[in-house]
Structure 1
Amino acid sequence: MDLLDFSDCKLYFEDPLPAAAEALIAEASREYGSPGAELALLRAHLLAPDNLTVLVGIYRYYFYQHRLEDALQVAELAMQLSGRQLGLPADWALLDERRLAAAAAASFGLLRFYLLALKAASVVLLRLGRIADSRPRLIKLAGLDSRDQLGAAKLLEVVDEFRSPDASTASDEPAFNLAIA
């Protein structure tokens, strides 16, 4: 399956958004960096709690404000919502090629969103220094994406390259500080 082929799929941001929620997202954009931006995003979420565009806005706000625990919660919520729509198990570890194929048949664009949300959660976990929590997610993604179109295998390679040699026998504390991802 070509995870970069968007030619025949609906993307998350094409879902209709209530006008009031759209106005709140625009307000958040104008007020970025001020407390009013977060409030506008959270109000948009109250109006459209299942809208992935709103969740992406909240995730980006938290990520770029370095509120990584909050960003992680939003990435996981995005996975729950999109996974539920795709009929995927609540536990990402249960993903396999059969389930992926069924989800792709239902909505390829939404499946790609789900996989990118899983990668986003992995990156946030890396930024938090929680390597032991991130690695299994990256391994799962790499196993499902044989051509590494989402970049999880390459990211895993970099993580493993910088891990200390005794990291697997001691605690799984990082031997590096991931500054950007």
Structure 2
Amino acid sequence: MSESIPSQPASARIYRFEPYHFSHHLPPDTRARLKEIFAHWNEAEKAEALVRDIIDQAPDTLGVRIVAYRFYFYRRRSLEAAHWALACIEWLSRRLGLPEDWREVRADMADFVHWHAFTRLWLQSLTAYAYNLARLGREAESLEALDKVEELDPSGKLGAPRLRQVFSGPRGDAGMLFPKAFENWRFVRQAASQRSEG
């Protein structure tokens, strides 16, 4: 089951996109299967098989792509999570009339200012893509994606400047780090002691 793409310009339809609750846009049996995924969360292979079934059932539905992203993100499988973040960008770009390549998107191509549902989701998906690339150690690509988020969200509502600090500074959190010069910063005293003993 796929969601049709309206033909009118994005500016004419943007207000019909607000708000967007992805779970309301899933086929009824897919919503029921979400409960089954949670019930089998501790059985990794079973849970993933259920997610794959949902994807096969409705691959062109934004809600399904969000389900897939969240599943792989919380499993800390960043390569798959990055793939599904891009899949969300792809779907949203078609709806908003944006270029297929997110690098080509400019601020005047859609309303990125007033925080409408689909433009917000587009920016969130690109931020998620950057986050997962950071976890994979793909620094240049991650920072390029963050550059685009900051370009389109200069007010910093999505926290891209803070993410840049986390990614690029000498300290970081949550396992989403590029290699740092001070990898043992959480154990500063121990590291200092080891240096003095050496």
| Fold shared per TM-score above 0.5 | yes
Cα distance between partner residues in 2 of 1:82 and 1:33: 32
What displacement does 1:104 show? Answer: 7.5
Number of the residue aligned with 1:68 = 78
Cα distance between partner residues in 1 of 2:25 and 2:76: 29
Number of the residue aligned with 2:13 = none
Number of the residue aligned with 1:118 = 126
Cα distance between partner residues in 1 of 2:81 and 2:166: 22
What displacement does 1:113 show? Answer: 0.7
Distance 1:162 1:100, change over 3 A: farther
Task: Count residues with an aligned counterpart.
Answer: 160
Structure 2 residue 182 is matched with structure 1 residue 174: no
Runs of 5+ unmatched residues, structure 1: 1-7, 164-172
Number of the residue aligned with 1:59 = 69
Structure 2 residue 46 is matched with structure 1 residue 36: yes
Cα distance between partner residues in 1 of 2:70 and 2:94: 22
Cα distance between partner residues in 1 of 2:84 and 2:21: 15
Number of the residue aligned with 2:91 = 81
Number of the residue aligned with 2:27 = 18
Number of the residue aligned with 1:168 = none
- Deviation larger for 28-37 or 116-125: 28-37
Match of 1:158 among 152, 155, 166: 166
TM-score under structure 1 normalisation?
0.78
Secondary structure (helix, strand or coil) at the match of 1:150 reads coil
- Between Structure 1 and Structure 2, whose CA radius of gyration is higher? 2
What are the residue-to-residue correspondences of 1:125-144 with 2, within 5 Å?
125-144=133-152
Runs of 5+ unmatched residues, structure 2: 1-16, 172-177, 184-198
Cα distance between partner residues in 1 of 2:23 and 2:35: 16
1:70-101 Cα shifts (integer Å, max 9, x gaps): 11111111111111111111111111111132
- Contact 1:139 1:153 survives alignment (8 Å): no
What displacement does 1:154 show? Answer: 1.6
- Contact 1:75 1:118 survives alignment (8 Å): yes
Root-mean-square deviation over aligned CA pairs: 2.5
